[in-house]
Amino acid sequence: MQEKNVAIVTGSARGIGRAIANKLATKGIHVALGDIDPAVVEVGKQISEQTGSKLEGFVVDVKDYNSCSNFYRNVLSAMECDHVDILVNNAGINRDALFVNMTEQQWDEVIKVDLYSVFNCTKQVVPGMIKVNHGRIVNVSSMSWLGNVGQANYSAAKAGVIGFTKTLSKELARYNITVNAVCPGFIDTPMTRAVPENIRQKFLDRIPMRRIGLPEDVANFVSLLVSEEASYVTGEVINISGGMTI
Ligand SMILES: NC(=O)c1ccc[n+]([C@@H]2O[C@H](COP(=O)([O-])OP(=O)(O)OC[C@H]3O[C@@H](n4cnc5c(N)ncnc54)[C@H](O)[C@@H]3O)[C@@H](O)[C@H]2O)c1
């Protein structure tokens, strides 16, 4: 293995992705942050100053295969490495609407950002992981994969992520590459802050722990999944939801 572990975290300019990048950095892992929002560059600098780890932010559109190939090349060069050890496919969006009102654009955008992205980014890192016979891939799905009113597009994409995770875990286990999915419940991020207050309250009522999750709750668990301690865990789908079920 190269001297330092190197991780890619997508969708890390804010929210859950940013918390994951921060957590990995506190463990001394070098982190490449990728996001469509150019603010990611500054976020990388800030976390680097706070943790002393090497971090760098890159602008990437994860729904675009060529953008992901360029991103990966730039990461290898900036991090002075020949592979990455960890990939966290976290970038995601929602465009909620009842199916009868859902536009083709809403469908397309969510499927591309939430599902194609996982193929686009994973495709970059796997050959390098196979070469070193080691790797960690964590896909951020959602409990909505089980079905949620107003989220036919999002549920389909997030269910696709789980099928992808399970298949890849079987294909890559022989190379000591683990592939797992996490399903956050209701986590306090810009994505959920857009939800109307009455709906937020309804979610809160359904959470046995009686609090909305924090991005750090997800980050702490992802940090465990990418550690050596989790080397025999693969193909799993873990809810991080304070006990909430769908
Ligand atoms: N917040 C929750 O309660 C919750 C629950 C379940 C699952 N999730 C999942 O967790 C992940 C992170 O969600 P969040 O709540 O932090 O969302 P967020 O909206 O706060 O952050 C998402 C990040 O992804 C980036 N992004 C969007 N489109 C992109 C693209 N095309 N290319 C690159 N980056 C792009 C955004 O710029 C943003 O920085 C998502 O996959 C989401 O579906 C969130």
Residues shown for the chain: 246
The residues that are catalytic are 154
1 Cα–ligand 1 center, Å:
30
Tally of CA atoms within 13 A in the half-sphere of 136 that contains its CB: 24
Question: Which residues does ligand 1 sit against, CB inside 6 Å?
Answer: 10-11, 13-17, 35-37, 60-63, 90-93, 113, 140, 142, 184, 186-187, 189-192
Q: Average pLDDT for residues 153-164, to the nearest whole number? A: 98
Ramachandran angles phi, psi of 235, nearest 5°: 80, 15
148 pLDDT higher than 50: yes
Give the closest residue (by CA) to ligand 1 atom 21: 15
Per the CB < 8 A criterion, the answer to whether 157 and 141 are in contact is no
pLDDT at 3: 67
Above pLDDT 90, what percent of the chain?
95
pLDDT at 138: 99
The per-residue pLDDT for range 112-138, each reduced to its tens digit, is: 999 999 999 999 999 999 999 999 999
* Confidence tier at 37 by pLDDT (50, 70, 90): very high
191 Cα–ligand 1 center, Å:
7
48 pLDDT higher than 80: yes
51: number of Cβ within 10 Å: 19
The per-residue pLDDT for range 172-182, each reduced to its tens digit, is: 999 999 999 99
Beta bridge partners of 187: 213
92 Cα–ligand 1 center, Å:
4
Per the CB < 8 A criterion, the answer to whether 125 and 72 are in contact is yes
142 pLDDT higher than 70: yes
Ramachandran angles phi, psi of 170, nearest 5°: -70, -40
- Taking the model in full, what pTM does it have? 0.98
User: With helix as H, strand as E and coil as C, how does the chain read?
Assistant: CCCCCEEEEECCCCHHHHHHHHHHHHCCCEEEEEECCCHHHHHHHHHHHHHCCCEEEEECCCCCHHHHHHHHHHHHHHHCCCCCCEEEECCCCCCCECHHHCCHHHHHHHHHHHHHHHHHHHHHHHHHHHHHCCEEEEEECCHHHHCCCCEHHHHHHHHHHHHHHHHHHHHHHHHCEEEEEEEECCECCHHHHCCCHHHHHHHHHCCCCCCCECHHHHHHHHHHHCCHHHCCCCCCEEEECCCCCC
First CA to last CA distance, the chain = 40
Give the chain's largest Cα–Cα span.
53
* Confidence tier at 246 by pLDDT (50, 70, 90): confident
For the CA of 154, the nearest atom of ligand 1: 43
Give the closest residue (by CA) to ligand 1 atom 38: 11
1 pLDDT higher than 70: no
pLDDT at 4: 82
pLDDT at 2: 62
pLDDT at 112: 98
The per-residue pLDDT for range 77-105, each reduced to its tens digit, is: 999 999 999 999 999 999 999 999 999 99
182: number of Cβ within 10 Å: 24
Give the closest residue (by CA) to ligand 1 atom 42: 92
Give the closest residue (by CA) to ligand 1 atom 17: 191
Q: Average pLDDT for residues 165-169, to the nearest whole number? A: 99
113 Cα–ligand 1 center, Å:
9
The CATH code that applies to domain 6-234 is 3.40.50.720
The per-residue pLDDT for range 210-243, each reduced to its tens digit, is: 999 999 999 999 999 999 999 999 999 999 999 9
pLDDT at 122: 99
Give the closest residue (by CA) to ligand 1 atom 25: 11
93 Cα–ligand 1 center, Å:
5
Q: Average pLDDT for residues 184-211, to the nearest whole number? A: 93
Q: Average pLDDT for residues 29-46, to the nearest whole number? A: 98
